[in-house]
Structure 1
Amino acid sequence: MGMVQKIRSFTDLVAWKEAHNLAVSIYKVTDEFPDKEIYSLTDQMRRSATSIGSNIAEGFSRQSRKEKLQFYYTAKGSLTELQNHLLIARDVKYLGKDGFDVLAEQTVQVSKLLNGLIKSIKTSI
């Protein structure tokens, strides 16, 4: 059995790592969107995707549980917003089924990790 790694930075959080990977994926896929979307869906997807990791990072730095939870819940809100944008991108044919499925699965994984992070804060003494 490996030793549990000490969490010293937000970059040590698995939830942040996966949120970061998701944001990078969103940047790559939106590079292929039509130019007419640069200030619309492309921008909205990139903002919501980067907001997830940013809020995890900011929540990590907060001292009180209440503040931490506030930022982690905001990250969940941004994640849900991104899930909605992905559905729109799929339905207007900017994303094919395979591309959508991969990104949708990434959002599910980030959601599970965020839920775990929130639960750990709620149950800590």
Structure 2
Amino acid sequence: MDTFEDLKCWQAAQTLKRRIKTEVLNNLPTKEKYELHSQLLRAARSATANIAEGWGRYHFLDSRKFFYNSRGSLAEVLDHLIEAKEEEYISEDTFQSLKEECQKSLKILNGYIRYLTEKNRE
């Protein structure tokens, strides 16, 4: 593995972030520019950034906390998507599709955390 970009968990979170930028952020009203828009973008960016930072750490316990932070950011993304759906900024179909993408990202990240935990025990 050459860089964090090779990690499946980073790739999944990156795909989610790209979709949020194209399918959600552009549809938010101007009044949400500094509220929901900003919060959603920061959470999506944080998900990938924490995976990258965790990958860059050399000690398992140090890196693991960044992967946990990424999990928290993915949960935050989902919460903001729920808000966008409730405010009718995005359709139910868009919400469901992005929710599945969030869950996929979490599942892959959880698998990577489990893999690292097992590897650390060896």
Does 2:40 align with 1:83?
Answer: no
**How far did residue 27 of structure 1 move?**
1.1
Q: Deviations over 1:76-98 (max 9, x none)?
A: 00011111111111011011111
TM-score, normalised with respect to structure 1:
0.93
Q: Does 1:9 align with 2:3?
A: yes
The structure whose RCO (Cα within 8 Å, separation 6+) is larger is: 2
Residue identity matched to 2:4? F
Q: How does 1:23-102 map to 2 (within 5 A)?
A: 23-28=17-22, 29-102=24-97
Give the fraction of aligned pairs with identical amino acids, expressed as a percent: 35
Aligned to 1:113: 108
Partner AA of 1:56 in structure 2: I
TM-score (norm 2): 0.95
Measured in 1, the distance between the counterparts of 2:60 and 2:69 equals 14
Q: Which has the higher helix share?
A: 2
Deviation at 1:113, TM superposition (A): 0.5
Q: Cα deviations across residues 31-57 of structure 1 (Å, max 9, x unaligned)?
A: 111011010001100000110010000
Unaligned runs of 5+ in 2: none
Aligned pairs, number: 119
Shift, 1:121, TM fit: 1.1
Instruction: Measure the CA separation in 1 of the matches of 2:83 and 2:65.
Output: 27
Any runs of at least 4 consecutive aligned residues in structure 1 with deviations exceeding 6 A, and if so which? Answer: none
Distance 2:63 2:109 in 1: 12
CA distance in 2, matches of 1:90, 1:114: 25
CA distance in 1, matches of 2:105, 2:75: 11
Whole-angstrom CA distance in 2 between matches of 1:102 and 1:67 = 33
How far off its partner does 1:8 sit? 1.5
Unaligned runs of 5+ in 1: 1-6
